[in-house]
A and B are shown apart, each in its own frame.
Chain A
Amino acid sequence: MGVAVWAAVRRRPVRFLVSWWPWRGWALLVTGAVQGAVVLVALAAGLLVGVGLSVLGVGVLVLGWTALLGVPVGALERWRLRLVEPERLPDPHRSAARGLRGRLRERASRRELAYALVQSTVFAAAGLLFAAALAFCLLLLSAPVFILAVSPDTVMLWPGRPVSGPLDGFAASAAGLLGLVVLAYSGALLAGAQVRLAQQLLGLRDTDLGVRVVELTRSRARLADAFEAERRRIERDLHDGAQQQLVALGMTLGLVELELRGRDTPATALVARARGEAKLALEQLRTLVRGIHPQVLTDHGLPSAVAELAARHPVPVLVDLHLPRRLPGPVESAAYFTVSEALTNAAKHSGADGITVRGTLDAGALRLSVTDNGRGGADPGAGAGLQGLADRLAVLDGRLTVTSPPGGPTRLELEVPC
């Protein structure tokens, strides 16, 4: 992160003097003197009252609030620093952690307190000095006018050496001007230093960012879990509801057929057709349920579900998948649907006549690969299905890699910690 006021000095050192920059630097320092004084008093008062009342218990509360004095100071500073820094510093606080306790726990609050201490002492003192020096330089600068105003009385710019007339004052003016030039540069230097310190202490840090990333990952994982639960609910509802109903309907129709057996009536053919349609609906429903969340996965876990996929697959699939335990639900279903997608793709595009699914669980991670002996050349980015699965795995901190050189083989690998 750069400091704008330093950059301005470096870029055009002479133009800097006639720009707004010196004024802005001085403004920052002088207003900082006032602010720092107030903060210092408040800190001292809070500390004194807090320690004094600590026997009463409320003292601790007072001390707590005093420690949080950095928070409003930080907010004010982020706003005030825009006098010299066009880029506004981001607020490092998490909106989730509110209240005394939440804010005290945040590192950002502690950094702001540190900043407030430095600002209210070092920079406030420097600001005070600057104010005095500025006043003195302006006084020197205006010496000829001043002398003219008070003449014919004698004026002593230097003790013991009275000036003879306004012309004598020009030397003083030159000195004042020189002082202003020095103050302009030193003010820029000091204002820049304050910006730099603020960047270190008042902005967002990587650690704060880390917290946010964890929060985001968590909320994404929660979302994924919620979807997973919803899938299971839909699967269960279809399974226990619609599917059973269809079986019962088919049975009733079968009974009717049985009743009509031997009788020559057009109803026989109609009932047979109705039963055929019920059966078809049942099959479609079953395929649908399998796509949402297969029952066998819920009941028996990944190896059985993959074995069932393999059994239904038009291309011979060799399954070598032995897991010592059941895996967490989201991992199981993400792995299942990845294998399912890989098998579907292999059947559709690869021209393979043999597919191998291998999987192991070691060092706390599921490693699974699907390899076909087809012609390769698959574009991993092309399949929306794979993309979605990669996203799903990413939520679980997993990875999906597809290698498919022209001429094959196509190999899909997934790795998920669990």
Chain B
Amino acid sequence: MLKIVIAEDAVLLRAGLVELLERVGHRVPAAIGDATALVRAVDAERPDAVVTDVRMPPGHRDEGLRAALELRGRHPGLPVLVLSQYVATAYATRLLGAGSADRGGLGYLLKDRVLEVGDFLDALERVAAGQTVIDPEVVRILLARHTADDPLRRLTPREREVLGLMAEGWNNQAIAQRLTVTEASVVKHAGNIFMKLDLDPAEGNRRVLAVLAHLNHVAAADS
């Protein structure tokens, strides 16, 4: 059972989220519709995790994301799952690049993911457990943006697949399941990837962050 604070300005979706979370046994002490109330509620409730929309009142810009970053500063390690209406890699980059990311889970999901109720709950629980979850669509875009001198080109298609799943935050076992291969071969692929991309093969969040940092770097050099 987790204690979760929800910030979402669309009333229907907010109600739906509350119902969903409570039905599977979580507790939602506060569900609010604007960013300033979110910060107050978290300060008061000390939840296990925060689910917030990017676009929030009063400005309907990225108040939700900014509030999340502020909360991460005030409560180090607070797991935050950010929901976004559309893919904006800038959001993901800002969220993940905002320091202290190696402590406490972080997630960036498209709102449509909520429809896959099972996946959504799974992602939320992983974030609350301190892992990093990135929407596959964001990963796909980051992986797709590369140039001629890009080290990603050195990867085999299978290695790219593994890298993509890694970036989404899955561990070797889960990747093996998804690709229906043995865990040993995933470890082998991962080793090759880290070697080819010159990455630190540390486990967990740092692994995801290393991959994302690399992808972002490529993306930044690209644009």
Contact = CB atoms under 8 A, between A and B. Distances in A.
A251 B20 contact: yes
B223 A318 contact: yes
B116 A311 contact: no
Given A252-B16, A255-B19, A247 B115 contact: yes
Contacts of A150: none
B90 A300 contact: yes
A250 B85 CA distance: 15
B87 interface: yes
A252 B13 CA distance: 10
Nearest to B55: A299
A257 interface: yes
Interface stretch (B39-47, B124-132, B141-149): B141-149
A347 interface: no
Nearest to A245: B12
B17 A251 contact: yes
A106 interface: no
Given A247-B114, A251-B114, A296-B88, A307 B223 contact: yes
B141 A254 contact: no
A250 B17 CA distance: 11
A295 B55 CA distance: 10
A252 B20 CA distance: 8
A362 interface: no
B147 A251 contact: no
Nearest to B59: A299
B90 A251 contact: no
Contacts of A312: 141
Given A251-B20, A299-B62, A300-B90, A311 B145 contact: yes
Interface string A110-129: 00000000000000000000
A258 B117 contact: yes
Interface residues of B, number: 36
B85 to A, nearest CB: 6
Nearest to A322: B223
Contact of B115 (A240, A245, A250, A299): A250
B112 interface: yes
B115 A251 contact: yes
B117 A318 contact: no
Interface majority SS on B: helix, strand, loop or mixed?
Answer: helix
A284 interface: no
Contacts of A244: 10-13
A254 B55 contact: no
Interface string B127-162: 000000000000001001111000000000000000
Nearest to A236: B60
B13 A248 contact: yes
A304 B90 contact: yes
Contact of B112 (A239, A245, A279, A308): A279
Contact of A255 (B117, B147, B222): B117
B59 to A, nearest CB: 10
A248 B24 CA distance: 17
Interface in B60-105: 60-62, 85-90
Nearest to A282: B112
B188 interface: no
Interface string A70-96: 000000000000000000000000000
Given A251-B13, A282-B112, A311-B145, A258 B118 contact: yes
Residue from B19, B24, B85, B141 whose CB has the most chain A CB atoms within 10 Å: B85
11 contacts: A245-B12, A247-B10, A248-B15, A251-B114, A252-B16, A295-B85, A299-B61, A307-B89, A318-B147, A318-B223, A319-B222
Given A247-B13, A316-B145, 20 more contacts: A240-B10, A244-B13, A247-B10, A251-B20, A254-B20, A254-B117, A255-B19, A255-B23, A257-B117, A258-B118, A296-B86, A299-B55, A299-B60, A307-B89, A308-B86, A308-B87, A310-B145, A311-B89, A311-B141, A311-B145
Interface of B: 10-13, 15-17, 19-20, 23-24, 55, 60-62, 85-90, 111-112, 114-118, 120, 141, 144-147, 222-223
Interface of A: 239-240, 244-245, 247-248, 250-255, 257-258, 275, 278-279, 282-283, 286, 294-296, 299-300, 304, 307-308, 310-312, 316, 318-320
Q: Which 6 A-B pairs have the closest CB atoms?
A: A254-B117, A250-B115, A248-B12, A251-B16, A311-B141, A244-B10
